[in-house]
Amino acid sequence: MKIKYRFTFSWEASKGEQLRALGLTVEEPQVPEEFSGIGVSHADEGAAGWAEACSLVKLWRGGIDVSTEFTKEEIVAADYCIIRGAHYSGYPQPESDDGYRKITYGSACYCPDCGVGLEQVAPFRMRKSVRFGRNAFLYLYWVHDQIFMPHGTWEKRLAPLGVGALPVNDVKGQPMEGVIQLKVEQHSLLQLDAEGEVCGTCGRKNFLVHDRGYAPHPVDPPACPIFRSSQHFGAGAQAFNRMVVRSDVAAEIVASGLKGARLIPCFPRSV
């Protein structure tokens, strides 16, 4: 496991020199402008210069994004992994005026202030122009907790493990051949230490996603290959569930080299 830091800061040549002196590589702004360029630098947690770079970037009021890279061995050793989107293409349809939300979800429990409470009642609609490229997984922008796959890849790789599928429609509401949505019906609480933010309107909670280290472990995992977190995550009016896959699904994704999603091992249960 490597914990990676990505630093961003308003560009000045002297800042770049300070980071380079610490041994970091620095990406200068593509189009340097006197006041508006953004510099980018990277460091692994614990590496030479990392702690000093963190202090400098905080001093400069820059941004620090933390993410974690796991080895294939760490992924396949985990009982469960969170699966999250790496390949996004297109928007759910119709994309204007929240049209997709009204068509795809029931909104009886929906809260417009925190985004919690959407329940899918109809197939997603997408444009035929969405592109998988070399990816086996596709996510639609705005929708972080629904996973789409080419029918053939799902049938060959995940259906034998018991992962179900739902149909997908085109923009006119007609069945779209060759693409499926993974069927995910069950939930589990994740073991979270954070308090979450309580919505002032509906009283339900949203949690922030942290990308540092292992993902939280499911507390009461159902006996199925893929399920959702009971908790919601997100900020503002956006809420989504985290998606969890069992070890045999993660192993198949790794062994078959399926691209388009990231796997984040959950903490070992004993930790």
- Interface positions with Zn ion (CB under 5 A): 111, 113-114, 199, 201-202
What minimum distance in Å lies between the beta carbon of 47 and Zn ion? 41
- Smaller CB distance to Zn ion: residue 41 or 229? 229
What minimum distance in Å lies between the beta carbon of 106 and Zn ion? 16
How far is Cα 240 from Cα 121, in angstroms, rounded to an integer? 16
Measuring CA to CA, how many Å separate 12 from each of 95, 160, 197? 40, 55, 37
- Smaller CB distance to Zn ion: residue 90 or 196? 196
Contacts 24+ apart (CB under 8 A), 22-26: 22/48, 22/49, 22/52, 22/53, 23/48, 23/49, 24/49, 24/53
What minimum distance in Å lies between the beta carbon of 210 and Zn ion? 22
- Smaller CB distance to Zn ion: residue 68 or 206? 206
What minimum distance in Å lies between the beta carbon of 233 and Zn ion? 14
- Smaller CB distance to Zn ion: residue 73 or 195? 195
Length of the chain: 271
Is the peptide bond preceding residue 94 cis, with omega within 30 degrees of 0?
Answer: yes
- Smaller CB distance to Zn ion: residue 153 or 229? 229
**Could you tell me where the DSSP H helices lie in 66-183?**
72-77, 99-104, 151-153
What minimum distance in Å lies between the beta carbon of 155 and Zn ion? 38
